[in-house]
């Protein structure tokens, strides 16, 4: 790419999503795992637009899609997606709870969204709604977030005897780490599944980090998430994704400051020389997190332009002393520019921000444009 894209000539800042790269990442995982995919498209496909992402992934014939709220599932149904959709968060039974009446099961049933269940009460209530409607049994093997406890889930096991699950799964808490925890969780899951009267049709364990650690998968399907969107599992991982997201913003102002002058709120950065600053139209209200100030940089004309001072709500200041530029030109926070590039991991390194948080934050108010390279 010879220069930063200017595909949104009327925008102050924008996100570019390369659906071609997204699909290639999915194909790479499919070939590596040698098992069907359940792409996780929760949180608006990690901030990139769930409907557009799902429509691109349909060509790969995924087994289902994973969401984290009923509204996310309904959005896909209303967009014409007929493939199975699985809700990967606990389901609230119909009851008065602190002034809020939960009625998840009936809404899930009405919209053909498959729940993940973990209690006797939920399984029995779901089973009574129709002719043995499908669900996946959630098993907690160490994440301690949701699911039936792998050591003591007598009620869930009894209910699963009456209404057998179509699938069962657990979630890995440290899949990127070579500390034995993945293998320990898998063994706990195997023991739990052996207690079921009937083996579910689909057993799944691996998230993105788990998928890339071995080939083929030991299970019936896999649940890729952040890898699809261009974030890997470290430089030593067997598989690396292509970048999918670019974040660009226009330069609004230029100014020169003297040695010793401070920049932004609190003057947390002070110039050690005469410095050329460029103010860009992107701030934490756009998803460019406040913590990136004084730790991260943008690319301007392919050159590094550090963020100086804290990022403000609508703008950030770049040191362009070594990256000459003009008002109206483009700064690239994510993506390629004139032979240089910056990934989500590189942008967030040293800031304390997870690449997951960075991606999801981009949905706040930035327009998105889609390509299929």
Task: Read off the tokens for 251.
Answer: 């330069």
Count of alpha carbons within 13 angstroms of residue 16, beta-carbon side: 24
Other CB atoms within a 10 A radius of the CB of residue 256 amount to 11
Specify the pairing of strand 13-18 against strand 245-257. antiparallel
In the set 42, 46, 65, 229, the catalytic residue is 42
* CA 144 to each of CA 166, 173, 182, 365: distance values in angstroms, whole numbers, following the listed order: 23, 9, 14, 33
Q: Which residues contact 302 (CB under 8 A, 6 or more apart)?
A: 337, 338, 339, 340
Q: Rounded to an integer, what distance in angstroms lies between the CA atom of residue 74 and that of residue 85?
A: 9
CB-CB contact of 227 with 208 (8 Å)? yes
| Whether 265 is catalytic | yes
Count of alpha carbons within 13 angstroms of residue 7, beta-carbon side: 14
| Whether 42 is catalytic | yes
In the set 101, 154, 195, 265, the catalytic residue is 265
**DSSP type of residue 290:** G
Query: Terminus-to-terminus CA distance in the chain, angstroms?
Result: 11
The C-alpha angle 271, 341, 287, rounded to 5 degrees, equals 70
Active-site residues, by number, are: 42, 265
């Amino acid at each position: 790419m010879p220069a930063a894209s200017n595909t949104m000539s009327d925008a102050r800042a924008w996100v570019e999503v390369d659906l071609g790269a997204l699909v290639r990442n999915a194909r790479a995982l499919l070939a590596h795992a040698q098992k069907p995919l359940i792409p996780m498209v929760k949180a608006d496909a990690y901030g990139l637009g769930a409907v557009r992402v799902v429509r691109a992934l349909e060509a790969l014939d995924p087994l289902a899609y994973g969401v984290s709220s009923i509204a996310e599932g309904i959005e896909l149904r209303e967009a014409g997606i007929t493939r199975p959709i699985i809700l990967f968060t606990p389901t609230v039974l119909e009851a008065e709870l602190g002034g809020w009446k939960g009625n998840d099961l009936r809404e899930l049933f009405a919209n053909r969204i498959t729940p993940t269940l973990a209690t006797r009460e939920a399984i029995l209530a779901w089973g009574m709604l129709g002719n043995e409607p499908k669900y996946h049994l959630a098993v907690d093997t160490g994440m301690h977030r949701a699911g039936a406890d792998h050591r003591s889930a007598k009620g869930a096991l009894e209910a699963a005897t009456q209404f057998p699950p179509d699938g069962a799964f657990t979630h890995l808490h440290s899949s990127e780490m070579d500390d034995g925890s993945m293998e320990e969780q898998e063994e706990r899951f195997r023991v739990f599944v052996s207690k079921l009267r009937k083996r579910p049709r689909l057993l799944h364990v691996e998230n993105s980090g788990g998928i890339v650690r071995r080939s083929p998968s030991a299970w019936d399907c896999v649940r890729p998430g952040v890898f699809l969107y261009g974030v890997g599992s470290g430089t030593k991982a067997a598989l690396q994704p292509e970048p999918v997201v670019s974040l660009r913003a226009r330069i609004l102002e230029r100014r020169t400051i003297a040695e010793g002058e401070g920049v932004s709120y609190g003057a947390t950065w002070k110039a050690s020389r005469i410095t050329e600053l460029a103010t860009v139209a992107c701030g934490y209200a756009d998803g460019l997190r406040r913590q990136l100030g004084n730790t991260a940089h943008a690319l301007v004309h392919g050159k590094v332009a550090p963020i100086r001072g804290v990022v403000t709500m609508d703008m950030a200041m770049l040191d362009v002393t070594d990256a000459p530029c003009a008002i109206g030109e483009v700064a690239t926070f994510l993506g390629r520019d004139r032979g240089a590039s910056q990934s989500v991991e590189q942008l967030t390194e040293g800031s304390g921000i997870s690449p997951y948080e960075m991606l999801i934050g981009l949905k706040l108010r930035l327009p998105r444009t889609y390509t299929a390279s």
